[in-house]
Amino acid sequence: MTRFIAVFILSIMITAFASLSAIASGPSSPEEAIVALKDGNERFVDGRSAHPNLDLSRIRDTSENGQHPFATIIGCSDSRVPLELALDQGIGDLFIIRVAGNVCSTDEIGSIEYGVDHLGTPLMVVMGHTHCGACTAVAQGAEVHGSIPALVAPIGDAVKAVKSTNHELEGDELVAAVVEENVWQSIEDLLMKSPDTLKHVNSGTTKVIGAIYDIETGEVRWLGEHPKQATIIAAAGGGNGHIASVDGHGDGHR
């Protein structure tokens, strides 16, 4: 019996070590990267985060050997959306850009290109979140000042798209619809304005997907690729640098 218990404990330790080793080594394909993020979020929600790659040896390794993140993520600046924690990843695992409303304008796209093209991340995620203040402000026509109007301008396209097909929506339902549509809008803006990103999408080395983080539960809802990705790629010239307009832009991307 004692030997059986010892073997059982050893098998658990081996399994746990293998799991942590997989986390530490990092995914190398879009599919593996998605699984790693999904597993990390599940651990976070279940209260069993592994907190990988947070020790001094990891700091030294990334300092001496450079960073090799497996995912580029653009998320909102909202303090309730702690991306590394919510996805249970550590130092050097994720290349993260944060901006109010997770919009994709020039600065954000340039940063994304650094992650996708220069660092070679196999996955790019646009991460919106529930009850987004930026989306709420634009959806409700709130008065904003300073540089904020220009910052949140792209969200206006998402609001128009939602209202064009869902005239009856208002309040929380309207905001929720705009949050999701804004994820699609950001992906479209990225693909339309970034031939470098499009090149990697076309070659299959990088996948671009959307997601929404729930600030009440900590759970991420994974949306997948843009439902009109093929149309957007064609309108963007297939990644050859020619930019055209997307037919039906603003129709909700359904």
Give 225-238 pLDDT, tens digit per residue: 999 999 999 999 87
Record the tokens describing residue 105, joined without a space. 């304008």
User: For residue 64, is it within any domain?
Assistant: yes
Q: Minimum mean pLDDT among 11-25, 50-64, 155-169, 193-207: which range? A: 11-25
Q: Report CA-CA distances (Å) from 21 to 13, 57, 92.
A: 12, 14, 15
Q: Which helix (H) or strand (E) holds 190?
A: helix 171-193
User: For residue 243, is it within any domain?
Assistant: no
Residue 133 sits in which domain range? Answer: 2-235
User: For residue 160, is it within any domain?
Assistant: yes
User: For residue 206, is it within any domain?
Assistant: yes
Rounded to whole angstroms, the Cα distance separating 159 from 169 reads: 11
What pLDDT score was predicted for residue 226?
98
User: For residue 240, is it within any domain?
Assistant: no
Binning the chain into helix, strand and coil, the percentages to the nearest 5 are 55, 10, 35
User: For residue 248, is it within any domain?
Assistant: no
Q: Exposed e or buried b for every residue in 203-212, given b needs 16+ CB within 10 A?
A: eeebbbbbbb
What mean pLDDT, rounded, does the chain reach? 88
CATH number at residue 193: 3.40.1050.10
User: For residue 221, is it within any domain?
Assistant: yes
User: For residue 77, is it within any domain?
Assistant: yes
Domain count within the chain: 1
